[in-house]
Structure 1
């Protein structure tokens, strides 16, 4: 999969990480939250994340 230069990512153990560079390979991602009323960036999540088994 090719990197998407519009989506930066530093999560190396994600299935969609570009590996050679800090980008995502998905065309788009879904951003979600685990909070009822998010007010800080720590309250948000990449809901497109999938763990890449080694």
Structure 2
């Protein structure tokens, strides 16, 4: 995302996401939605950024 307005409150290293700022490891969204793919999440690996959009 060129000319991205980085949200310094949301760090992100997922460069495959449409909302990732190309020149820095931040998200361009005002807010993100975090969810889980597990019925009983117990580790950080059980959570997902539901705002992810593939480039």
TM range (shorter): over 0.9
Structure 2 counterpart SS, 1:17 = coil
How high is the TM-score relative to the length of structure 2? 0.92
CA RMSD in angstroms comes to: 0.5
> Partners of 1:34 and 1:40 in 2: how far apart?
11
- TM (norm. structure 1) is 0.94
Alpha-carbon distance in 1 for matches of 2:37, 2:16: 21
1:44 aligns with 2:52: no
Partner of 1:5: 8
Measured in 2, the distance between the counterparts of 1:13 and 1:48 equals 12
Runs of 4+ in 1 over 4 A off after TM superposition: none
